[in-house]
Structure 1
């Protein structure tokens, strides 16, 4: 899974009008972090994970959207592990 694909999935959630505005704003911040060329890949991924975990705890978020966000977090965690292994070599 690539960051570009994850951004596409985040974009779908961001454009869903049933998602609370504060969650959509958090998703936009996570997207900006993921595409920030000035940051290290591990920093970008960890920042996005943190933001999305916080967003998924919103009490007004639809259940389906919460599940989507959890799935995206899992994808980011896989990327995070790959980046750690790459840096370890």
Structure 2
């Protein structure tokens, strides 16, 4: 089981990779800010899942980035 802090940390690690597209990096930074802002955990997780789904639908997204996004989605689906 994951926590929002673990999801946020995983997003930070992904952002720090050099080959991450700018649109993904910007969106992840926005999502980290939303996590820091707080709120109802379940609602926030659903919102973040929708945003990740939008990101992974980009056909120009490198496959390894898509795999990381799937991993983040899995973490959000299994929040404590």
| Correspondence 1:62 to 2:57 | no
Decide which structure has the larger Cα Rg and report it. 1
Q: Which residue of 2 aligns with 1:87?
A: none
TM-score, normalised with respect to structure 1: 0.78
Instruction: Please give the alpha-carbon distance, in whole angstroms, between the structure 2 residues aligned to 1:59 and 1:19.
Output: 14
Deviating beyond 4 angstroms after TM superposition, the runs of 4 or more aligned structure 1 residues are: none
Corresponding residue number in structure 2 for 1:32: 33
Please name the residue that 1:12 is paired with: 13
The corresponding residue for 2:73 is 73
- Alignment partner, residue 46 of structure 2: 46
- State the shift of 1:31 in Å: 1.3
Secondary structure at the counterpart of residue 60 of structure 1: coil
RMSD: 1.4
Shift of 1:51: 0.9
Q: How many residues align?
A: 79
The normalised TM-score by structure 2 is: 0.85
Structure 1 range deviating more: 28-37 or 66-75: 28-37
